[in-house]
Copies of this chain bind each other. A is one copy, B any other.
Amino acid sequence: MITDRTQVTAMIQSAKISKGIKWSEIAVVIGQSKEWSTAACLGQMAMTKEQAEGVGKLLELSDEAIAWLQIAPYKGSLPTEVPTDPLIYRWYELVSVYGTTLKELIHEEFGDGIMSAIDFSMDLQREEDPKGDRVHVVMSGKFLPYKMY
């Protein structure tokens, strides 16, 4: 009996490693970007019935697991408030170092409000560079203004 969505994530990770499948291949089956598809497999997004069945077939998941993939999961992928993994920590560090800068510049351009993390998309690409290739990430989130009432 599956009692937690993280069990399904573990099943996916385990099957993916055993079968040697790539996230970009899973994304083709899901029919969305590799960013959205990976997040969905890792328990951060809910899939449609078709998407869940596609992933389930590719990774040989049980029907119960496929049912769980269609449920909005309890989100948040990190085991600690400050992530210990160096790759993920660098992103936390960017928020720590540039957090007030992002705040100041968004307010200067848009006024009081936030950038949405829900109406949001992300694209990650390799940027070739003779001094060492770079990770190039584009993020786009809708600006949501605070309203008076």
> Which A residues are within 8 Å of any B CB, using their own CB?
1-4, 7, 10-11, 13-14, 17-18, 20, 22-24, 32-36, 38-39, 42, 44-46, 64, 67-68, 71-72, 74-78, 80-122, 124, 126-127, 129, 131-149
Q: How far is the CA of A64 from the CA of B73 in the complex (A)?
A: 28
Q: How far is the CA of A98 from the CA of B44 in the complex (A)?
A: 8
Question: Which residue of the partner chain B has the closest CB to A84?
Answer: B76
Which residues of B sit under 8 angstroms from A147, Cβ to Cβ?
A: 118-119, 121
Q: How far is the CA of A110 from the CA of B87 in the complex (A)?
A: 12
User: Provided the pairs A17-B71, A133-B110, A139-B139 are in contact, do residues A76 and B96 lie with their beta carbons within 8 angstroms?
Assistant: yes
A contact patch SS:
mixed
Q: How far is the CA of A71 from the CA of B95 in the complex (A)?
A: 21
Which residues of B sit under 8 angstroms from A137, Cβ to Cβ?
A: 102, 138-140
Q: How far is the CA of A67 from the CA of B85 in the complex (A)?
A: 20
User: Provided the pairs A36-B149, A124-B105 are in contact, do residues A11 and B22 lie with their beta carbons within 8 angstroms?
Assistant: no
Query: Among the listed B3, B14, B96, which residue makes an inter-chain contact with A3, where contact means beta carbons less than 8 Å apart?
Result: B14
User: Provided the pairs A112-B45, A119-B147, A135-B115 are in contact, do residues A35 and B126 lie with their beta carbons within 8 angstroms?
Assistant: no
